[in-house]
Amino acid sequence: MVAGVALWLLAGSLAAQTVPDAYPAEVILLADWGMSDVSEIGYLHVGVLHRPQGDTLAVYDIRRRVPVVEWPREPQHRTPPFDGNVFLLGHFDRGNTNRLGGYFNGFARTPSTSVVSITRAPDDDPALAFSYDKVAGSFAGFWIHLFDFKRPPTERVLFDASPFAYLTFAVRGEHGGEDLTLHIADRAWEEREGSLPIDNVASFLPGGRVETTWQRAWVPLGSWPPSLDTQELASLVFLTNGEGSGRVFMKDIAFTTQRDAEIPTAGRTEEPSRSLRRAMWLWDTPAVTSGRDVLMRLVQFCRTEGITDLFVQLPYEAERVDGEWTISWNRESLRPLIAELHAAGVTVHALDGDPRFSLPEWHGQVIATIQSIIQYNRESPPAERFDGIRHDIEPYLLPGFGGVRSTQILRQYLTIIAASRALAAQAGLVYGVDIPAWFDERNEFFEPVADVDGRPLSELIIDIVDNVGIMDYRTQAYGADGTIAHARSELRYAADVGKQVFLGLETVQLPDETDFAFSPQGSGGSRVVVEQIDAERARISWIAEEAWDQLDDQLDDQLDDRSRTRVGTVILRESRATSVPSGKLSFAGYSRSKLDAVIEQTTLELQQFESFYGFAIHSYESYRPWLEGPR
């Protein structure tokens, strides 16, 4: 088979399944993606989840052709105003971006790791801290953007450094001898997602090596390769050399017109902290209501960990007869639980959720369940009543959400949460929902991920509810992909409209994932095979690189010798693969100190927003064993 060629199959009778069931696969409805035949498919975005029992496939996007990012022919660039002969990029003592709106972020190839944060150096000076563990055959580093990379390329303003002669920064290592190379990217390198090496950081230091005390590096722009365009600088990049782990601190990064210019240093600022709430999800309610001992163990855990709000899954059964929903649950089993939690100062929210609740045919069950909670409260003394209702519906988990039905599903979702909030408000109950952090963001092609009528879904939800829980599932606070960056816009909007926000953190052990894109132009090793099952359905199978040769031989016997095609089948090749390790999303593999540090750092940066209500930990079933067990 010719490498890299997509097999576009012509119309005709449908063929039997080619790919064995052993490969990770997902069946789709073609109509969900606005298609009627697999021959229309020219781009696939999928995730391969690497579970202990085997890989599984999740389908995120299907299109007729590969989306294209439009880069401006004449990008904007400018030199910002600066005092004297110094432009201070940042002290890196506070904040998640620099004075050019640029983020900083670590990057690494698994199994290496890289984390960047703002913390205090060993001498107690605030600084940018780069912690790394580099393994042979991979890489680890961090970048500092000189523009806001979250804006579409057509709106970006790059940094014009032409008036300056030096790049300078203060640096120190945790143990001394840390080995880094400085790279620079201009517009051309940024578009290629690369950078050009300048020299080892040590070569710009007075001592010729990184020490455990602060030294100032002076990097002459005149020594940079002539091919670098200093009028369109995009990022500073630092890469580790050799192997092993280490920690490096940097601060007071600036561009100057002369060497040894006086660089302003950061003043000490101590931000007063305010009291935040601490929530937790509880899913297996029957387990904690099965006996007095397990119930009190939960209550004591809430006391010890300072839990102020508990989202308790309502254990009920629903039955629909002649169009009417009947909701039944053991009210007596919940009375002692709610009463003991209230005695411990915990606010109790009745929790429910299912992606199908977004669909109109399930709205009746949602309303009937809320009505049953309201009726229970009416019949119960105050100590045994629920204080609120919480929904974790997650409509994006419905099959085909990313296709042509997306807006319809989102409108239906907004309809049911609006109806739910109205019922809850009439009964004096607080109503909240849980949402992912990306409801207000753009994808890699700078398209809105979830919007209705031109507004981010997060804003439309916040308008309706009393509070939201943002599933801010990251294990680092700072950087372009940390808890701070993902929560800031929701907090800002919620503050404007007087709503409250919990930031959710994860302790459940999640699978590692590899995020793939496939297209006819792909040159990577793995493949997807799309086979039409019938007039409505298709089966997508992912074939790892090491398994492809064997399957390719099987396909040789079934494909036309001349056209290398087969009716009802399309094969696309990998064009992008991104590793998403579970350690990026969940604290399951870390110590408690890691969680505490992220909470502290996130609080420091976001407590300015009155809407910041507190944190929510997912979930009791994993959180307690994680704290109590070895890691």
Average pLDDT over residues 381-385: 98
pLDDT at 567: 61
Name, in order, each residue with C-beta under 8 angstroms of 507's C-beta and a sequence gap of 6 or more: 586, 587, 588, 595, 617, 618, 619, 622, 623, 626
Topology at the third CATH level for domain 76-256: Jelly Rolls (2.60.120)
Quick check: 3 pLDDT over 70? no
Integer Cα distance of 281 and 314 in angstroms: 12
pLDDT tens digit string along 248-300? Answer: 999 999 999 999 999 998 876 666 678 999 999 999 999 999 999 999 999 99
Dihedral sign (CA 189, 192, 193, 198): negative
Integer Cα distance of 233 and 77 in angstroms: 9
Residue carrying the six token digits 């010798």? 561
Average pLDDT over residues 140-149: 96
Average pLDDT over residues 342-361: 98
Integer Cα distance of 267 and 219 in angstroms: 25
- DSSP single-letter state for residue 65: S
Band (pLDDT 50/70/90 cuts) for residue 21 is confident
Integer Cα distance of 631 and 612 in angstroms: 30
Residue 198 and residue 235 in contact, taking contact as beta carbons nearer than 8 Å: no
Token pair of 180, please? 């880094």
- Average pLDDT taken over every residue of the chain: 92
pLDDT at 130: 97
- DSSP single-letter state for residue 582: G
Number of Cβ within 10 Å of residue 319's Cβ equals 11
pLDDT at 256: 97
- Domain range annotation of the chain: 25-68+526-580, 76-256, 277-511+582-628
Residue scoring higher pLDDT (568 or 13)? 568
Dihedral sign (CA 17, 21, 24, 29): positive
3-state secondary structure of 249: strand
Band (pLDDT 50/70/90 cuts) for residue 22 is confident
Of residues 511, 361, 490, 365, the one with CA closest to residue 433: 490
Quick check: 497 pLDDT over 80? yes
Question: Residue 547 belongs to what H/E stretch?
Answer: helix 545-556
Integer Cα distance of 367 and 379 in angstroms: 19
pLDDT at 274: 82
Residue 518 and residue 46 in contact, taking contact as beta carbons nearer than 8 Å: yes
Q: Burial code of 70-103, b = ≥16 C-beta within 10 A, e = fewer?
A: eeeeebebeeeebeebbbbbbbbbeebbbbbebb
Token pair of 494, please? 């919620």
Question: Residue 487 belongs to what H/E stretch?
Answer: helix 483-497
pLDDT at 195: 95
* β pairing state of 54-63 and 104-108: unpaired
Number of Cβ within 10 Å of residue 326's Cβ equals 12
Residue carrying the six token digits 């090749």? 573
3-state secondary structure of 406: helix
Instruction: Cis check for the bond before 619: say yes or no (omega within 30 of 0).
Output: yes
pLDDT at 557: 55
Residue 526 and residue 542 in contact, taking contact as beta carbons nearer than 8 Å: yes
> For 3-120, where are the alpha helices, taking DSSP H only?
none
Residue 147 and residue 101 in contact, taking contact as beta carbons nearer than 8 Å: yes
Quick check: 339 pLDDT over 70? yes
pLDDT at 14: 40
Token pair of 214, please? 């602060």
The CB-side HSE value for 352 (13 A sphere, CA atoms) comes to 26
Of residues 516, 514, 506, the one with CA closest to residue 436: 506
pLDDT at 15: 47
Residue scoring higher pLDDT (408 or 11)? 408
Token pair of 604, please? 């420091």
Mention the CATH class of domain 277-511+582-628.
alpha beta
Instruction: Cis check for the bond before 111: say yes or no (omega within 30 of 0).
Output: yes
Average pLDDT over residues 439-459: 94
Quick check: 70 pLDDT over 90? no
pLDDT tens digit string along 80-93? Answer: 999 889 999 999 99
Integer Cα distance of 501 and 613 in angstroms: 5
Average pLDDT over residues 577-594: 94
Average pLDDT over residues 39-45: 96
As separate numbers, helices (DSSP H) first and strands (DSSP E) second, the chain gives 11, 32
Average pLDDT over residues 171-185: 97
Quick check: 552 pLDDT over 80? no
pLDDT at 555: 66
Percentage of the chain surpassing pLDDT 70? 94
Q: Quote the strand ranges of 210-272, DSSP E.
A: 215-220, 233-240, 244-256
Residue 110 and residue 138 in contact, taking contact as beta carbons nearer than 8 Å: yes
- DSSP single-letter state for residue 152: -
Integer Cα distance of 425 and 547 in angstroms: 56
Q: Any idea which of 117-126, 174-183, 467-476 has the lowest mean pLDDT? A: 117-126
